[in-house]
Structures are given as C-alpha cells and as structure tokens.
Amino acid sequence: LSVEYLSYNGILFPQADYSRETLNQVENEFQLLDDDIINVTYPKSGTIWMAEILALILKKGDPTWTQSSAVWDRSPWIETNNGLQRALKYPPPRLMNTHVPFQFFPKTFLQTKAKVIYVMRNPKDVLVSFYCFSLIFKTLKTPGSLQEFLETFLSGNVIYGSWFDHVKGWLEMKGRPNFFYITYEELQQDLRGSVEKICQFLGKELSSQQMDAVVEHASFQKMKENKMSNFSVLPDDIIDKKGKFMRKGISGDWKNHLTVAQNEYFDRVYQEKMRGMDITFPWD
Ligand code: PPS
C-alpha cells in the first residue's frame, strides 16, 4: 500500500496520528509553562537519546522510569494527536519532544521560561539513518534508492521539511537563556561532559555517582536493551522487526554508504544552503 503524507503550510508530515487541527493547536494555542522541558530535534538526530538523558537526569540517574514507561509516554511528541492529548494531561513539570520546525513551535514559547534543548547531527549521518529508518517504518514512504532519497532529503521533500531550514530556524534562538543546543557528535565524544552541561542548563545538581548512572543508562548498549526506548514494543504493522531502530549509533556511518560523487554533491548543496551561518559544527 502506498503511503501518502499530510501537507501543512508547505511541510510534510506522516498521516498516522497527525492532523492539521493538532498542528494548528500546537502552534497557536498550546500553552507552554515555565517548568516545561522540550527536546527539539530534526528526525534521526538523537531524539530518543536526549529523551533518555533528560528522563534520567530528572530521576537523578535512577532508570526505573525509563525502563517502565515508553519514551512516547514519558516524553510525548506534542505535534501528534496522541502526544498533544498526553501533554495536556501531563502533571508539571513536563518533559516533551518535538521535531517541528521553529515556525510551528508553540508561539507561547517566547513569553515563557520553558527550556528547549536542540540536538543537531551531521546531516550526512541523518540522511543515512533516515534512509534506513524509512525502509522499516511503515508510516513513512518507501525511500527508493539511496540516490533517490539523497535528492528528496536535500530538496526538503521529506517529513518535517528541510534539514537546513530546521537548523537555521532553530538556531535563531541561540543566545536566549532558555535555549540550549548540542550536537550528537558532542554527546558521542564526551557524554559525561555533555550531561554536566545539560544539568547546568536545567539547574539540576547531581552527585558524581548519579551522573555516572545517567551516563551508564544512556549508553547505546543499555538503550538498545531497553524495550521502552528501542521501539521493539511497536506492532509489526508500524515497524518491520527485521530492521532495528537502535541501528548503529555511531558518527560517520555515511562514509560506508555515500559514493564519492554523492558526497561531493552533498557538500555543494550544504555549502550553498549554510552560507553565512556564523557557527562551526563538529562535522565542518
Ligand atoms: S527519531 O525516529 O527521529 O526519533 O530518531 P532519533 O532518536 O532522532 O535518531 C535515531 C538515531 O540515534 C541513534 N541513537 C544513539 N546513538 C548513540 N547512542 C545512543 N545511546 C543512541 N540512542 C539512539 C540511533 O541508533 C539512530 O542512529 P543510527 O545512525 O540509525 O544508528
């Protein structure tokens, strides 16, 4: 059966569990609160990883919550129908996720102290992860060949729109005291140091042992075994169990997938689209 997407103000979204009404409500009516924490990412950039880290920080390293509550229950995606309903009933302080580009984020953000953590990842690795995920996740269009998906990805004709626009839109929040950004690569290079920085941003004080526990339970291996985070509880009509959500969890896997020509093409588009950005990324 071929999958169709929903188009909302020029951006594509999956059909299942999404609607114009919910997207509109999130953008224009959803009231953020001062003690909210929202994990914002472009898809395949480390969303579940950050969601796990944040939940573990809130519980001071105790994994009981992350091991007993599915990631979409403990940190709902506010732009989905079910996620929004869950967020509306969530007793504060709330932990939430979203992939929406900045223009669809709750307008109330600008009047609150709600904290946003924005995670970015090398877009070449995002591309590969997105491609592999599209092969197994049944609410997404089948991606065709990697060459075809490369074109689709670079043109922004994928769910949640262009990676470039997402990053540029969100980084305009840079400098606000309630906005923190980090990359997947930094989490990889120094998870402990990253957790410390995140704690500082959130105003949470953890002991050294509690910090160790966060780092331990947020490791790729531990998360791969956690059925509340590894998508294994999803039914077969949503995810093909032949593939894995927790696929490789490394930086630079794009080198195993992109040809020299595809890489050069990517670089050309990247340079053109990111021209004028006054920020250096770990992959630059
Ligand atoms: S989604 O579907 O958009 O919510 O996916 P998202 O969680 O953003 O990204 C999935 C990729 O993150 C990797 N991942 C991790 N890497 C390292 N360490 C940990 N703990 C971790 N948890 C998730 C996951 O494996 C996906 O990347 P790839 O490259 O496909 O392995």
DSSP line for 61-90:
T-THHHHHS-HHHHS-BTTSHHHHHHHHHP
Ligand 1 proximal residues by C-beta, below 6 Å: 41, 43-49, 125, 129, 132-133, 218-220, 223, 246-249, 253
pLDDT of residue 122: 98
19 exposed, middle or buried (CB, 10 Å; 0-12, 13-18, 19+)? middle
Structural contact between residues 182 and 119, judged by C-beta atoms closer than 8 angstroms: yes
Q: Rounded CA gap, 278 and 156, in Å?
A: 22
User: What pLDDT sits at residue 242?
Assistant: 84
Collect all residues with Cβ–Cβ distance below 8 Å to 67 and sequence separation of at least 6.
226, 228
pLDDT at 278: 87
Residue 93: asked if its preceding bond is cis (omega within 30°), the reply is: yes
**Spatial CA neighbour of 251 closest among 91, 79, 129, 155:** 129
Coil, helix or strand at residue 102: helix
d(CA 262, CA 224): 30
Give the model's pLDDT for residue 84.
98
Neighbours of 44 (CB within 10 A): 23
Q: What is the pLDDT of residue 241?
A: 86
Q: Give the whole-angstrom CA distance, residue 106 versus residue 26.
A: 6
Distance CA 205, CA 260 (A): 46
In order of their start, the domains of the chain are 6-274 (3.40.50.300)
pLDDT at 2: 84
**What ipTM does this complex have?**
0.99
The residue contributing the CA closest to ligand 1 atom 4 is 47
Q: What are phi and psi of 76, to 5 degrees?
A: -65, 150
User: If you take atom 19 of ligand 1, which residue's CA is the nearest one?
Assistant: 220
The Cα 282–Cα 284 span in angstroms is 6
Q: Residue 21 contacts by C-beta under 8 Å, 6 or more apart in sequence?
A: none
How far away, in angstroms, is 124 Cα from ligand 1 center?
14
- Give the pLDDT of residue 1: 65
Q: Which helix (H) or strand (E) holds 188?
A: helix 184-189
Q: What is the pLDDT along the chain (284 residues), one digit of tens a residue?
A: 689 999 999 999 999 999 999 999 999 999 999 999 999 999 999 999 999 999 999 999 999 999 999 999 999 999 999 999 999 999 999 999 999 999 999 999 999 999 999 999 999 999 999 999 999 999 999 999 999 999 999 999 999 999 999 999 999 999 999 999 999 999 999 999 999 999 999 999 999 999 999 999 999 999 999 999 999 999 998 999 888 999 999 999 999 999 999 999 999 999 999 999 989 999 99
Alpha-carbon distance 274 to 163, whole Å? 11
99 as an active site residue: the answer is yes
User: Separation of 146 CA from ligand 1 center, angstroms?
Assistant: 19
